[in-house]
Amino acid sequence: MRLFTLVFFLFNSAILFAQTFELCKIMDNEMKQAKFKLNHKSNPATASYDIKYHRLELEINPEVKYIKGKVVTYFTTTDSIDAILFDLTDSLRVDSVVYHSVNVSFKRTVSNTVSAILPAVLPSGSLDSIEVYYQGVPNTNGLGSFVQSSYNGDSIIWTLSQPYGAQEWWPCKNSLTDKIDSIEIIVSSPLNYKTASNGILLKIDTINQNHAFHWKSTYFIPSYLIAISVANYDSYEEQVQLGNNTLLMNHYLFKDQTLIQSNDGLLSFMNLFDSLFGTYPFIKEKYGHASFVRGGGMEHQTMSFMGDYGGELKAHEVAHQWFGNKITCDSWSNLWLNEGFATYLTVLTYEFNTAHSSIYYPIALGGIKASAMTNPNGSVYKADTAIVANLFDDMVYAKGAYLLHMLRWKIGDNAFFQGIRNYINDPELAYSFASTNDLKQHLENASGVNLEEFFKDWFYGKGFPRYSTQWSQTNETLQLSINQQPTDPSVYFFNIPLPYRLIGPNLDTTIVVEPIYNNQLISVAISQQIDSIVFDPKSWVLAESNVSVGLKESNGAELGVELYPNPVLSGNSVEFKATHRIERIEVFSSTGKKVSAQFSNSFISTIGITPGLYFVKFWNTESFELKKLLVQ
């Protein structure tokens, strides 16, 4: 049973998760090479004022990597100040700083900052403004910052400021504590180029051989989500129906791209998220796509920059408009609140697409599960946020998504979705910043379940559990002996409910047990004969496992089986090695459906099996061992 009944439009094209999961990550291999360290996370010297408004007036020609402009800033002081400091890379030259129409002195004694000296002390609570004129060749650090490249011979300049890159191309306040109330972005460029940016396009002014695209947004926005892309675009504008609202859509596409590519499946994703989590957060402005030249995409507020138009990438980036943009993590340590949510919502598009959920949802879930288990010593929580490449990894994306999946399993669908909806619409958090504890409190309030131990294990803790379950049935009692071995010593024991599917001649049911210590013996009254047991048949728990019949109740010998290669390419065979003779095998999908398979000697034929997660059961008389097999 689901919390919401949804009208969900079918995908126009189905794309296997295993083929496109990497595109969900805005930070691909290019990002992983960016192993540099910055000199600050958030500059404490900028904490003495609150930004109300920025106006960026920029001159950009994509044929030349250069920027010239001025930034007007309105601010309110939160303390008495005699200078105002902005984050700005040393590679850009400040020409002047203007305060009340008069040039004031400035200094750059602190690396990558500019400090404007005020003529008098401003008391706390003052509303004022200042202008910074600057120019130069911006750095291209981290994930992009400010990039000049080309597409099919046409030049393009685009920005990507997450997490610390805004200072590389404009004087700003790099912060996860202060969202800007409103912005205007005016970019002047040669006539053959168009500028895509945040908010609403107010007008296009043409002066001689240049024109200026004038964008404005009145929604709260952090500095890292402000972006521009200047390219030889074809642009499209349309009005679409989203729930009970009409939404403006903008598309800025390269010449060989079509509006169909940009739109395919997008409205269905937005309708799903709108139904689950509330009205699209920027309904009064727009949602848009702008093509840029890199792998993956970036969820710039109201205008996602897209490296391609695969279905999962579109779902991931638009999901960020709720999780990441409406509510933004209050620290890069909590980046999973952005990326884990966007990754999990992408999986939900398969689950709620009722026409294909039985086929693609297990594959999508299996994909993030496999990625979440790539690092047995990894944590969702990021203690060190200075090294950019360490932030954007499988732990934040995939394990963060699976953390949400397990929360849903632990507290149930109704409490989970209601808690998330309460979180995203909390007036204290909406259009502001949130911590992991904020999410935890909302889920606890919705469910009545204390989640302290859960977050201690699964968010702060490292790794995942490995379960070994032995079972026996005597008379009408099933006995389970459950051994847990954490992959990392940071967690002594993972607490999570465990589902077991019981299969017999007249039996097919699932029981849920929750061991509280290692090697706990659990008894369950079951009158029907049990032939086999499957651990976690619907993949609710991030864990490795094997299930075997207890030796005292078995006439056979204990098995030890190895499968390789695992994962295996579709159409190839899988070799297995066993310590004892194999009598028979069975192969079934993650949904429990038995599939055809043959074996002889030490080979299993997987020809004809579609990509996905499978389970292989090996028998030696009454003993059997269960192994997972991922087919790609």
Tell me the pairing of strands 612-620 and 623-631. antiparallel
Write out residues in the chain with pLDDT < 50, as ranges.
1-41, 551-556
Residue 590 burial class via C-beta count within 10 angstroms: exposed 0-12, middle 13-18, buried 19 and up: buried
Identify the sign of the CA torsion 19, 265, 280, 345.
negative
Scored b (16 or more CB within 10 A) or e, 378-397 reads: bbbbbeebeebebbbbbbbb
Distance between CA atoms of 24 and 310, rounded to whole angstroms?
9
pLDDT of residue 591: 62
pLDDT of residue 611: 78
DSSP code, position 359: H
Q: How far is the CA of 295 from the CAs of 140, 225, 258, 298, 505, in angstroms?
A: 16, 18, 19, 10, 51
Please check whether residue 559 is in contact with residue 618, taking contact to mean a CB–CB distance below 8 angstroms.
Answer: yes
Q: Do domains 17-34+323-460 and 465-631 have the same CATH topology?
A: no
Helices (H), 152-302: 259-263, 266-277
Q: Give tens-digit pLDDT for 37-66.
A: 333 345 767 889 999 999 999 999 999 999
Distance between CA atoms of 422 and 420, rounded to whole angstroms?
5
Give residue 356's identity as a one-letter amino acid code. H
What lies within 8 Å, CB to CB, of 222 at 6+ separation is 175, 176, 178, 179, 180, 328
Distance between CA atoms of 34 and 23, rounded to whole angstroms?
18
Residue with tokens 């849903």: 408
At 545 the three-state DSSP class reads strand
Q: What are phi and psi of 389, to 5 degrees?
A: -60, -30
Please check whether residue 280 is in contact with residue 270, taking contact to mean a CB–CB distance below 8 angstroms.
Answer: yes
Q: How many CB atoms lie within 10 A of CB 4?
A: 12
Question: What Rg do the C-alpha atoms of the chain give, in angstroms?
Answer: 28
Distance between CA atoms of 298 and 310, rounded to whole angstroms?
14
Q: Give tens-digit pLDDT for 506-563.
A: 999 999 999 998 888 899 999 999 999 999 999 999 999 999 876 333 334 567 888 8
Q: What are phi and psi of 115, to 5 degrees?
A: -115, 115
Q: How far is the CA of 496 from the CAs of 191, 513, 516, in angstroms?
A: 60, 9, 9
Residue with tokens 């296997």: 16
Please check whether residue 469 is in contact with residue 483, taking contact to mean a CB–CB distance below 8 angstroms.
Answer: yes
Tokens of 424: 């995203």
For the chain, give every domain's residue range: 17-34+323-460, 465-631
Tell me the CATH number for domain 465-631. 2.60.40.1910
Q: Which H helix or E strand runs over 481?
A: strand 477-486
Scored b (16 or more CB within 10 A) or e, 316-329 reads: bbbbbbbbbbbbbb
**Geometric angle at alpha carbon 23, from 316 and 160, rounded to 5°:** 75
Identify the sign of the CA torsion 303, 304, 305, 307.
negative
pLDDT of residue 608: 67
Tell me the CATH number for domain 17-34+323-460. 1.10.390.10
Distance between CA atoms of 513 and 493, rounded to whole angstroms?
15
DSSP code, position 456: I
Beta bridge partners of 511: 500
Q: Give the distance, in angstroms, between the CA of residue 400 and the centroid of all CA atoms in the same chain.
A: 8
